[in-house]
Amino acid sequence: MITVTKKDLIELGYGTSFSADIIRKAKKLMIEKGHTYYQSRKLDRVPKEAVEELLGITLSDTND
């Protein structure tokens, strides 16, 4: 599973607070889908698919 962090979103050009909001909303989405693992406050990674679903775009798979 490919994951996304706040830092990854900042590197894509999103602002700091907007990136944090995206991660927070993606975690909430994953919890709603039944993945209680994402309830952890310290967890800062979410699946790329959750972020893509929220933003309505496809993120590239390149890992440089």
Q: Is residue 59 part of a domain?
A: no
pLDDT of residue 63: 55
Tell me the pTM.
0.86
pLDDT of residue 33: 95
Q: Is residue 3 part of a domain?
A: yes
Phi, then psi, of 27 in degrees rounded to 5: -65, -40
pLDDT of residue 64: 47
Q: Is residue 8 part of a domain?
A: yes
pLDDT of residue 32: 96
H or E stretch including 4? strand 3-5
Q: Is residue 60 part of a domain?
A: no
Q: Is residue 37 part of a domain?
A: yes
Q: Is residue 40 part of a domain?
A: yes
Domain hosting 18: range is 1-53
Structural domains in the chain (count) = 1
Q: Which residues of the chain have pLDDT under 50?
A: 64
Q: Is residue 62 part of a domain?
A: no
